[in-house]
Amino acid sequence: MNLAFIGFTVVSVVLSIYASTFYSLAGKRLPVFMRSYSLAYFSLALTFLIWAFASLNNEFLKNFVIIGDSLLLLGSILLLNVLFNQNKNIKIFSIVTGVILSLIFIWLRINYYQPMPFIENGILVFNTQTIVAVILNLVFILIWLPANLVAAKKVTANISIEGMTYAYSFIYGVSTIAAILFITFKTIPMVIISFVALGICFVMLLYSNYVINKLLPTKL
Amino acid sequence: MNEEIYPKNQNPQIQDIPSVVSLPQSSVKPSYKANNWIALVYVVIITITWFNDDPVLSGILFLVTLVMGLIVAGSFINRINKANKNTQNKLVKVFFSLVGVGGGMVIFIIAFISGLVGWLNTHPIRGD
């Protein structure tokens, strides 16, 4: 039984549901720019789906990890639209910079820091080089985490229940930290434990989506 | 409709709402400050743990991260419980309960694996 395939597929489905909820709410009960947020999560869902199929075939493992990295960076660029939505000039500048830096990163990944993933007992270990892990972690800390906090504020802005912003910020924040640990770890026990933490976060994310649907006012 | 019928401050429904619905500010702010300090100390300890080579120190730091994980998780659950008590909405109550339990578990797991990685650096399991 390939645990990596099952785990990644389940996460991909959960992220797709999460993203589709936001996509349907954007422009109606949430600001239009939240569509970029949902597209970023669609991109992340596709990343997990690609990793799932990568874990079935060792031959394509390396290439699929690079494609996954590219989609992760695409999602990060989409999130810049969420982060800098208030200022058009900064938004355009950050997106252009993001595209250039992403292309440089992918070029370096193909030529100098090639992925070295392996599968052991049905578990996919990314075995990411320290410098690559640091860069990806910085992307999560500097883009995904703040963008998630912006999303938490936007989602709870029209829900006047004490503690909701705190709870949503916590879920989005802790999910990002769990994802960082999952990418960083290189040993099987650590990968499994961090994946369990990530799984709990996804359960909270899914239920938070359900709550949003029920509590948000029907119109902005 | 009410706003059209009653002038501001004369709507009987608005006047019926008690003025003590929200938590007093003093009971919220200190816990936020304490959380920030705990998070900062935690990050410092984790950083030392991950780069430390001394087996004895790594063992002590592993225990410290576990205790800190419990404190942070407890503080978080306490904060969520307070919010849970202040709402009557069943859906939100279930949500807060789920976030309280799930969040507490995730905080502790993160603290555990962060400390464990540091400890394993100086105590290899299979001698490799």
Average pLDDT in chain A: 86
pLDDT band, very low/low/confident/very high, at A108 (cuts 50, 70, 90): very high
Q: How many domains does chain A have?
A: 1
Q: Counting Cβ atoms within 10 Å, is residue B128 exposed (0-12), middle (13-18) or buried (19+)?
A: exposed
Average of pLDDT values for A198-216? 85
pTM of the full structure: 0.76
- Looking at the DSSP assignment, which residues form a beta bridge with residue A120? A123
Residue A92 belongs to what domain range? 3-213
pLDDT in tens, A148-206: 888 888 888 877 788 888 888 888 888 888 888 887 777 788 888 888 898 898 888 88
| Closest-approach residue (CA) in chain A for B82 | A163
Place of tokens 């990314």: A126
- Chain A: closest CA distance from residue B94 (Å): 9
Q: Please give the C-alpha separations between residue B50 and each of A60, A136, B19, in angstroms, as whole numbers.
A: 33, 18, 50
The answer to the question of residue A181 being in a domain is yes
- At position A194, the amino acid (one-letter code) is S
Most A CBs within 10 A among B17, B85, B91, B99, hence the mutation to make, goes to B99
Q: CB-based contacts of A124: which residues, under 8 Å, 6+ apart?
A: A4, A8, A51, A54, A55, A61, A117, A118, A191
Q: How far is CA A198 from the centre of its chain?
A: 11
Q: Which residues of A touch B126 (CB under 8 A)?
A: none
The answer to the question of residue A92 being in a domain is yes
Which SS3 state, helix, strand or coil, does residue A124 take? strand
The answer to the question of residue A113 being in a domain is yes
Place of tokens 């390396």: A62
Q: How far is CA A115 from the centre of its chain?
A: 19
The answer to the question of residue A155 being in a domain is yes
CB contact under 8 A, A203 and B113: no
Q: Is residue B70 within 8 Å of A141, Cβ to Cβ?
A: no
Work out whether the CA dihedral A54, A60, A65, A68 comes out positive or negative. negative
Q: Is residue A151 within 8 Å of B83, Cβ to Cβ?
A: no
Place of tokens 């070029």: A107
- Chain B: closest CA distance from residue A195 (Å): 10
- Domain layout of chain B by residue ranges: 32-122
| ipTM exceeds 0.85 | no
| DSSP 8-state symbol, B22 | S
The answer to the question of residue A219 being in a domain is no
| DSSP 8-state symbol, A104 | H
**What DSSP letter does each residue of A146-189 carry, written as one string?**
HHHHHHHHHHHTT---TTHHHHHHHHHHHHHHHHHHHHH--SHH
Q: Which residues of A touch B84 (CB under 8 A)?
A: 163
The answer to the question of residue A218 being in a domain is no
pLDDT in tens, A26-55: 888 788 888 999 999 999 999 989 988 888
Residues of chain B short of pLDDT 70, as ranges, are 1-36, 38-39, 124-128
Half-sphere exposure of A122 (CA within 13 A, CB side): 8
* Count of H-run helices and E-run strands, chain A: 8, 2
The answer to the question of residue A220 being in a domain is no
